[in-house]
Every structure is written in C-alpha cells, then in structure tokens.
Amino acid sequence: MRLWEFIESSDGIVVLTGAGISADSGIPTFRGKDGLWNKYRPEELATPEAFRKNPELVWEWYMWRMKLVFSAKPNDAHKTIAKLEELGIVKAVITQNVDNLHERAGSRKVIHLHGRIDEARCEVCGKVVRFDEPISEIPRCCGMMRPNVVWFGEPLPEKELREAIELSEKFDMIVVGTSGVVQPAASLPFIAKRSGRRVAEVNVEETPITAIADLFVRGRASEVFREVLKLIG
C-alpha cells in the first residue's frame, strides 16, 4: 500500500485533518451535498455578529452539534493516527475540527486551529471551561459565555497557528478529509512542500491540495486507514 510506504519511509509525520475524517463517525462536513453550510447560513450561526444578535439561537445550534459529537465514536482513521503517534511516527495532529474524536481515539498532541465544541469561554474574563458531556443550558461566568470556537471573521489562536506552521516546516504531512479552501489552514500543506517535506492526501475527491501532493489516496478516511492499521498490526 502506497500510503504505508509513505509512512514507513518517513522520519516524522504531522497529520492535518478536516471534517472529512469525522464524516465516517456520522458528523456532517461543511461543504458538499449534505454539508452543514448547505442547510444553515454561517452568517446567522458562526459569526461574532450572529452571537451578539441572537446568542440563544447560536448556542442552540452549538449544543445540538455538541450532542452529535459526544454521541459519535472515533473511527479507524482517528484510531490509526493515534496508534501511529504511540509508535513515534506521528508527531502531532493539526485539526480544523472542533470535535474531540482525535483525543477520544488516544491522540495526545492535538492542535485545534478552530477551537473546541466541548468548551465555552467567558466573554468578560476569558475563562475557559471544558465539558465532558453535552450541555443543555447556556453556561454562565462573570459574563456571557460563548462556544470556544473560531467564527468567520475571527483570527485563529496565535500559539496554535505558530506551532502548526513550525510542525509543517519540520515534518512530512498527511492531509485527511479537508476541502483545502479555508485559510490559513489550507496553506499548511504548501508550507510543508516549500520546506522540502513530502505531502500525502487522503480524500474522497481531489482538492486544491492534490496538485502539490506527492501521493493522493482516493477513498474514505476510515477505510484507507483501516488498511494501514492492518499493516501496522
């Protein structure tokens, strides 16, 4: 298997993931036929303005998605990536996903570029709380709490982005299940390439990243990584 050859011949890998890796766990992606942005309007649910206008509606949507995430289980892609970290091959996961499936599969070093759906942040004092089960009421602190995620028009967390760039310069990269259209995450494979590293991509369809990938594996993430898991075994 060519992905296994890519993995075996590498001196260290960073994995960049998007919504497609969690699709096989039943969590909807954003774009495409059944994507969230086909059914819901991001400007009404995922912007600071939307939250100011109608915090209850925004929270209701995030609490629904939080429930979905907690009822989902990590699939073979999440599990294999965690196993590869345990073996010392994968050095870190950089994810655009707000779900916690990488952590629940056993991954330790996970960089969340777009925040986490299982966290809320106080708008006044900045305190962050993490939940270990879905919530059904809006959490309060000294001020209104908001989902601890990155919304449209907001910058990415500085430390996480810096670390993601450093890792992309340093290691080979496997990109899994991202459409590669949202910046700055979409630039990371290009940074890896420019730094002389190899890039492999796993996706059910080609993306803007495919053109620079040394290896493109077409397929569902859980199925592709199940094959890798067999070879590790």
**Binders of ligand OAD: how many residues, by CB under 6 A?**
25
* Tokens matching residue 218: 């077409």
Q: Is 114 a catalytic residue?
A: yes
Could you say which of 78, 102, 112, 114 is catalytic? 114
Among the listed ranges 2-10, 126-134, 135-143, 173-181, the one in contact with ligand OAD (CB under 6 A) is 173-181
Measured from the CB atom, is 140 or 199 closer to ligand OAD? 199
Residues of span 103-162 touching ligand OAD by CB under 6 A: 114, 150
Distance between CA atoms of 85 and 24, rounded to whole angstroms? Answer: 21
In the list 99, 221, 225, 228, the residue contacting ligand OAD (rule: CB under 6 A) is 221
| Inter-residue contact 217 to 202 (CB < 8 Å) | yes
Among the listed ranges 13-21, 66-74, 121-129, 162-170, the one in contact with ligand OAD (CB under 6 A) is 13-21
Helix (H, G, I), strand (E, B) or coil at 185: helix
Distance between CA atoms of 203 and 223, rounded to whole angstroms? Answer: 11
Q: Which backbone phi and psi does 216 adopt, to 5 degrees?
A: -115, 120
The nearest distance, CB 224 to ligand OAD, in angstroms, is 8
The residue count of the chain comes to 233
Distance between CA atoms of 211 and 185, rounded to whole angstroms? Answer: 17
Query: Can you give the binding site for ligand OAD, defined by CB under 6 A?
Result: 18-20, 23-24, 29-32, 35, 46, 96, 114, 150, 177-179, 182, 202-205, 207, 220-221
